[in-house]
Amino acid sequence: MERTLIIVKPDAVQRGLTGEIIRRFEQRGLKIVGMKFMQVSRELAQKHYAEHEGKPFYEGLVAYITSSPVVVLALEAKNCVELARNMIGKTKPVEALPGTIRGDFGVEVGRNLVHGSDSPTSGERELALWFTPQELTGWARVVEPWIHE
Ligand code: IDP
Ligand code: MG
């Protein structure tokens, strides 16, 4: 089953939106298989955002993600990556549709509340960065047949 990494970013935690954001994913039917509250190190931030190194916003991005604690989630479902990205909305909140997390709570790109992996391959890479194998728990959800046919 496909998995994705979600980060409830520092602005969302500071604004008390952690529960609201997790609630949306949980109610959609994405199964939580890992979750933790943590302060991000500069080293982890640099590895996570390696593809953006050298871009004008890179230093600000690393400063933002390391500025205050985050909540990270490993979620699982069929087409999990695309489902979560659609729920998160466009990178720039001004372009994000109402009903998406960024479209409902965000104002600008440098404070866009949540991260979601952009492909199944990125999902695997990012989950391995943020979670140890022991921190990911496979479990049988009793409502599973009512979510996946
Ligand atoms: P994504 O989070 O929607 O996948 P990416 O293009 O992968 O967007 O960028 C990663 C993160 O970098 C964004 O979520 C946002 O926090 C930040 N970012 C991207 N573009 C800009 C920008 O132009 N200015 C400031 N921050 C940016
Ligand atoms: Mg991205």
Predicted TM-score (pTM) of the model is 0.98
Q: Which residue has the tokens 């960065």?
A: 129
Question: Cβ neighbours of residue 133 under 8 Å, at least 6 residues apart?
Answer: none
The number of residues making up the chain comes to 149
Token digits of residue 49: 């955002």
Q: Is 148 one of the catalytic residues?
A: no
- Determine the pLDDT at residue 14: 98
Token digits of residue 76: 């699982």
| Catalytic option among 48, 52, 115, 148 | 115
What's the angle, vertex CA 39, arms to CA 139 and CA 135, rounded to 5?
20
The protein residues having their C-beta less than 5 angstroms from ligand 2 (an ion) are: 118
Token digits of residue 50: 């390696």
* 2-137: CATH number: 3.30.70.141
- Read off the pLDDT of each residue in 126-134 and give the average, rounded to a whole number: 98
Token digits of residue 27: 């109610």
Strands 70-76 and 31-38, bridge-based pairing = antiparallel
Distance 16 CA to ligand 1 centre (A): 21
Among all bound ligands, the one having the nearest atom to the CA of 111 is 1
- Determine the pLDDT at residue 7: 99
- Determine the pLDDT at residue 20: 98
Residue 142 carries which DSSP code? Answer: T
Token digits of residue 37: 């509250």
> Which residues, in sequence order, are bridge partners of residue 7?
72, 115
- Determine the pLDDT at residue 78: 98
- Determine the pLDDT at residue 67: 98
1 burial level (CB within 10 Å; 0-12, 13-18, 19+) = exposed
Phi, psi dihedrals of residue 141, rounded to the nearest 5°: -95, 130
What pLDDT digit, counting tens, does each position of 45-102 carry?
999 999 999 999 999 999 999 999 999 999 999 999 999 999 999 999 999 999 999 9
- Determine the pLDDT at residue 33: 98
